[in-house]
Structure 1
Amino acid sequence: MEIQRNISEFILLGLSDDRNVQIFCFVLFLLCFIALLVGNFVVLISILCSPLFHQPMYYFLSQLSIMDICYTSSVTPKLICDLLEGTQTISYGYCMVQVFTMHFFGSSEIFIITAMAIDRYVAICKPLHYMIIMNRTKCSFLILAAWAGGVAHAFLQLSMTMQLPFCGPNEIDHYFCDIFPLLKIACTDTYVDGIFVIVGSGVILLVIFLILFLSYAIILFHLRNHSAEGRRKALSTCVSHISVVVLFFGPAIFSYLRPPTAFPEDKVVALFYTIIAPMFNPLIYTLRNTEMKNAMRKVWFHNMFSKETKS
């Protein structure tokens, strides 16, 4: 059956019609995007240029930084340009690219966060077997599995979206192409498609969140047998991970685990998992992490001063 598609572009209604609000949001999100890029690149380069890269936890953290950069870059540059220029159109092809990249990078990030939780569980609950269980081969397999899972999830979401007929209204009440706003303007009954999104995104998010919550509960239970110093160090790491999980999963679950419709509040909620959480991730992972802070000092200050001294 041929898909009816008379629309070649969509209009993104964005965050506000007020020009003053648009200028304010442009400055705010530009600064947020710059901070996100700087923070994640600093973390990434600090890990790659230090011995920390050979430790599983920091290997996963470097992958998370890459994913944060790619994930936010699939949406934020377009948002910033639209706010500056006042134009809010997006072609059908670019819209479909956004659907794919958002779900690909977003789901891959979720799987990487899960791999990080597995790493912490093994490190704290099975410390004597840690280096055997979490060797580089298995860590690389987990990363490849995260990417493969992201591709599979994004392909299913994209395939469903591309089957939708668009022949009437072309205004998307959002600042990027997301599935629920697209379902709202499709020229067909989208009830089944909405259920598919809830199961394919919302339920998966909830299940993974519950698994992560259970794993950290078990970790905290096992910390009773550790020394005071060991508990302090492990708690510092776990608190960072839990903060990232709550900041990312909370808004995402709200967006996808509910009746298949679009609400005005979705745009504000989406800011948390598309811009705010990726921006704060570097700060969360480095603020209470002594090893990370030492690596950053060595890479960014010690090496610079060494070069100046030699010159």
Structure 2
Amino acid sequence: MDDIVAHAKDLASKGEDLYAKFNIANARDIRDEELFTGQVSRAWRKTALKYHPDKTGDKYDEALYRSFERARDVLLDPAARRVYDDTINAAQWQKQQRDKMSAQKRQLLDDLERREREGREKMAETHGAISVLSLAELAERNAMRERGRKLAEERARLIREAEERDRRRALAAQGPPDTRQASTSTDSGIPADTDYDAKEAELMRRIAQRKAEKEQRKAEKKTRKSGAFPASPFYVEDTQEKTGESKPSQSSTSAAKADASKLKDQHVTKTAGPTEATEESTGSKKDFTPLMERLRAAQAKKVEAKRLKEAAQKDQAQS
């Protein structure tokens, strides 16, 4: 059905008069479908007898005979005949309008129609060539796309395996975390996530303070044993009152109090700065550098273990 309609439109665009082909020009205006069909059938029988191979013999023209068959099919099909008539009428109207134009306008219109016709023909030829080559090209492109996809998958798999090997080597080289050093860092009371310099300074300050307090207690104990402190003037006065001895004069008592205060200030001055002396003695008696190095190593191992764990989780999530 669609082929007949398309063929009818093609015949009309070429300007082929099917009614004249069967010598039934008067049938163009017949509105009765049955009457029209009968007239076309009679005209076809006459034409078939004239161009049939049994009649023509060796002069039989198959293309001519097929053209009459196709023309008969178009005229006997209502839809195809309607398309043919509409196209023919439009072409005739355009021809009439062209005849009314001036020679210059007619030439311009002819050139335009010629270029449009050539463009359609060229497009049809190009489309036909593309259609012929498209099957082979499509198969080749699909094969290339499949090969590229397989190569990409293989490359991604090799990369993942290499990363997994590197991660395992790093974990094996790192070894298990040092539990003893980790517990030492925890027992020191310093949070693991704070600034390490601040933790080190705080630890050194506490050690120095405790050492200074210890040295101060030792110095005071030694001073008490050696009797370096002078007897208190108040104690002297109480003793004199109990033994009945005469009290010293007010001036001598004031002088004694001043001397006692001076000696006490000197003693306080000597013992007031244990921190500085202790800090010097701390470095000479006991070195805390190994402890700090162990703390730093423990912290570094803990950070590295955390980083490796996060990397392993990330790789597992990606895979």
TM-score, shorter chain, exceeding 0.5: no
Structure with bigger gyration radius: 2
TM-score class, shorter: under 0.3
Higher relative contact order (CA 8 A, sep 6+): 1
Q: Which has the higher helix share?
A: 2
